[in-house]
Chain A
Amino acid sequence: MLKKISKIPFRGTPEQEAQLKAIIDECKGNNSLLMHVMQEAQSIYGYLPFEVQTMIADGMGVPLEKVYGISTFYAQFALSPKGEYNISVCLGTACYVKGSNNVLQRMSDALGIGPGECTDDGVFSLEACRCIGACGLAPVLMVNDDVYGKLTPDDVDGILAKYKTNA
């Protein structure tokens, strides 16, 4: 899976580092928990920049190459930060046959970014995802944890407007 690697400078805080260290200390010595540590790290930092991957590799005592290998293998791991509002448009089969690709296209046009990208102001990021399990509501999209279902491309502007005023 091709991933976009961020060029944005790393802005981790000492608090975040302390949180990550605590998790590493708990899991150290059990390499089967490496993915678990990476998942926790992503929930602390929002993504896995090289600085964080290096901390994990050093802390767990595994080569950086292994951490990087895992982070690029699984779709869940992000190598670039997400926007304040991350929009995932479902491209699972049930959504696709009901035209979710048109919803994705409209969203992409409206935001001026492609899937896997983030707007310059850092407010919105866009991604195509696979089945969130709400096939009864197809086509669906998620803005962070909010689910919007039974969509047509015309719903896109209304959804974005809701978040633009909050931003």
Chain B
Amino acid sequence: MYRSHVLVCGGTGCTSSHSGEIIEALEKEIAAKGLSDEVKVIKTGCFGLCALGPIMVVYPEGCFYSEVKVEDVPEIVEEHLLKGRIVKHLLYDETVHKDEIKPLSETNFYKKQRRIALRNCGVIDPENIEEYIAMDGYQALAKCLTELTPEDVIQIVKDSGLRGRGGGGFPTGLKWSFTAKNSADQKYVVCNADEGDPGAFMDRSVLEGDPHCIVEAMTICGYATGATQGYIYVRAEYPIAVKRLQIAIDQARENGLLGKNIFDSGFDFDLHIRLGAGAFVCGEETALMTSIEGNRGEPRPRPPYPAVKGLFAKPTTENNVETFANIPQIILKGAEFFNSMGTERSPGTKVFALGGKINNTGLVEIPMGTTLREIVEDIGGGIPNGKKFKAAQTGGPSGGCIPASLIDTEIDYDNLTSIGCMMGSGGLIVMDEDNCMVDIAKFFLDFTVDESCGKCSPCRIGTKRMREILEKITDGKATLEDLDELEKLAHYIKDNSLCGLGQTAPNPVLSTLRFFRDEYVAHIVDKKCPAGVCKALLSYNIDPDKCKGCTACARKCPVGAISGTVKNPHTIDTSKCIKCGVCMETCKFGAIYKK
């Protein structure tokens, strides 16, 4: 028995800020103090509060050390682990309240969270099957195989009301029942871990922090639908997730939890990993299957639906990582446990990746129906630098934005759809007054133009034309007729594209047009970018009252556009200026402004 456990986050965020080196230093220091038999260091998955990484938690006290540096390690080992004195000045501020240490669950970031899909992330060692089993792991599978019929399993999932967490929100139990009723010599289960929305990383965190729950859930799905083979399609850009998933599969096989005759039930199931290679469209279910088959990942027309003719032309059930992550808990604790959370039509919780202009960037899991205000102001800790909240973008390149006027919207599938937005996979990017909404729409169109597979013309050609119009607008060369054309084109592409990528590609434009039309008009009619982002519409100027004539800007200007004599106000020659902004960064007196 160890008297103390030190949990260090080994998720991608913290690994990027060198948590690996901290673990090495910890182990060395602990060994040097002769504590190796008393203190155990565990590399866990993501804790969620990525903004404060690298994160370290010491149990039994539950002390939350944030932004730990390698140099801090000797002090933590000497003081805390050896002498039992908590190193308060290294703790996360919010957990220190006068002389008391608050538990993490009472901090603003964690208080409103309910962790179902993420319940083991940051809690167990993802590379050790025994830790997963100790957290009731594989019990749901045992229950299914020994007590429940496949029909029972599907009924429980149906009753739970779980909807697809990949974005579409299709009822999971119903999807399973479609595959179950088709008979075939071979059926498949596919896990979509090709998280393509830039700015979403919940699937990655589940795979990195709790890979066994995906193995267990897919096996349960196999049992329920009559499939004996599963594929997990993971982005190759997620090396840590791929490695831990492979370890989990190997361990499950060794323990007889994958393979032939699982739990002596006569049920066979095995899993393989397939690596994606960076194509957004592969997040679409038919495109993903085409890619697993070894082709360019182009979507196929539906019907036939995958439940009839999916992977290798056999009946296939495909679910997203987060959807699967909910399954074991639903089976173990029952449908009512799950649908008692969330809203009536969107039960359960949803994981969001909070990013952009927000203080607490990271991963949060909250009951459906939580308002955007609670997410941004309470959990997210508000906007940095005293700026104003302008909009939150959900659903990535397929989604839309929620403006400040709708900040009290309760987030669930149907509410988001009704305001022209989309749940998507759960990326939630916060924007402040310095972000230009036309520029953001163009950013997403750049993305979809690049990622359109080219199979159908509305998407291939249409998105390109849309981007051209957006470029005209941000260059200040557009007319109001262009705006009408943009809107017409958007609806046409939405109605006529083959797959979900094309059908949703115009959403960022339609949504910003709906809530921020005045910004588009300002670009077109006034030739101004209100947020000061679109370079062609900006000019840099010097305020003669503030300029001290220090010459710093003139010396830094790469094109010699700034002139003036020492101690006298300078001026910028706008015909020479390339709008690089170096002068503004250089000026110590705030005398340079853009308009």
Contacts and interface: CB of A to CB of B under 8 A. Distances in A.
Given A70-B295, A76-B278, A93 B50 contact: no
A1 interface: yes
A136 B199 contact: no
B204 A133 contact: yes
B236 A76 contact: yes
Interface in B262-305: 274-280, 291-297
Interface string A89-100: 001111011100
A51 interface: no
B427 A73 contact: no
Interface residues of B, number: 54
A149 B15 CA distance: 12
A92 B355 CA distance: 10
Contacts of B295: 66, 70
Interface stretch (A5-13, A14-22, A27-35, A79-87): A27-35
Interface in A84-122: 91-94, 96-98, 102
Interface stretch (B97-105, B108-116, B356-364): B356-364
Interface in B320-361: 353, 355-357, 361
B16 A154 contact: no
A134 interface: yes
Interface string B557-584: 0000000000000000000000001000
A103 to B, nearest CB: 12
Interface in B375-406: 393, 396
A89 to B, nearest CB: 13
A75 interface: yes
B94 interface: no
A95 to B, nearest CB: 8
B168 interface: no
B142 interface: no
Given A132-B237, A135-B199, A94 B277 contact: no
Given A35-B291, A154-B585, A73 B453 contact: yes
A32 B292 contact: yes
B161 interface: no
A98 B533 CA distance: 12
A137 B54 CA distance: 11
Contacts of A154: 585
B435 interface: yes
Nearest to B275: A39
B296 A70 contact: yes
Contacts of A158: none
A136 B275 contact: no
A104 to B, nearest CB: 13
B198 A91 contact: yes
B450 interface: yes
A126 interface: no
Contacts of A35: 274-275, 277, 291, 294
Nearest to B585: A154
Contact of B53 (A1, A70, A76, A136): A136
A92 B294 contact: no
Contacts of B356: 93-94, 97-98, 138
A154 to B, nearest CB: 7
B277 A76 contact: yes
A147 interface: yes
Contact of A133 (B238, B276, B293, B585): B238
Interface string B434-467: 0100001001100100110100000000000000
Given A69-B296, A93-B198, A96-B443, A36 B275 contact: yes
Contact of B277 (A74, A96, A140): A74
Interface string A32-51: 11111011000000000000
A4 interface: no
Contacts of A36: 274-275
A130 B204 CA distance: 14
B13 interface: yes
Contacts of B431: 97
A94 B16 contact: no
A92 B198 CA distance: 5
Most chain-A Cβ atoms within 10 A of its Cβ — which of B236, B292, B429, B451?
Answer: B429
A131 interface: yes
Nearest to B50: A136
A137 B52 CA distance: 9
A73 B396 CA distance: 21
Interface residues of A, number: 40
B294 A94 contact: no
B520 interface: no
Nearest to A132: B237
B277 A1 contact: no
A69 B279 CA distance: 13
B445 to A, nearest CB: 13
Nearest to B444: A93
Interface in B418-441: 427, 429-431, 435, 440
Nearest to B282: A74
B316 interface: no
Given A98-B357, A137-B16, A93 B279 contact: no
B51 interface: yes
Nearest to B447: A130
B294 A32 contact: yes
Nearest to B311: A32
Contacts of B297: 73-74
B355 A94 contact: yes
A130 B451 CA distance: 11
B453 A93 contact: no
B17 interface: yes
Contacts of B198: 91-94, 96, 130-131
A150 B342 CA distance: 35
Contact of A137 (B17, B276, B450): B17
A73 B238 CA distance: 19
B12 interface: yes
Contacts of A153: 585
B293 A32 contact: yes
A133 B13 contact: yes
Nearest to A102: B581
B277 A39 contact: yes
A102 B64 CA distance: 35
B132 interface: no
Given A91-B198, A137-B13, 6 more contacts: A31-B293, A93-B197, A97-B440, A136-B13, A136-B362, A147-B17
Interface of B: 12-13, 16-17, 50-51, 53, 196-201, 204, 236-238, 274-280, 291-297, 312, 353, 355-357, 361-362, 393, 396, 427, 429-431, 435, 440, 443-444, 447, 450-451, 453, 581, 585
26 contacts: A34-B294, A73-B296, A73-B297, A74-B277, A76-B237, A76-B277, A93-B197, A93-B356, A93-B393, A94-B353, A94-B427, A97-B356, A132-B16, A133-B13, A133-B238, A135-B50, A135-B355, A136-B13, A136-B361, A137-B16, A137-B17, A137-B53, A147-B16, A149-B17, A153-B585, A154-B585
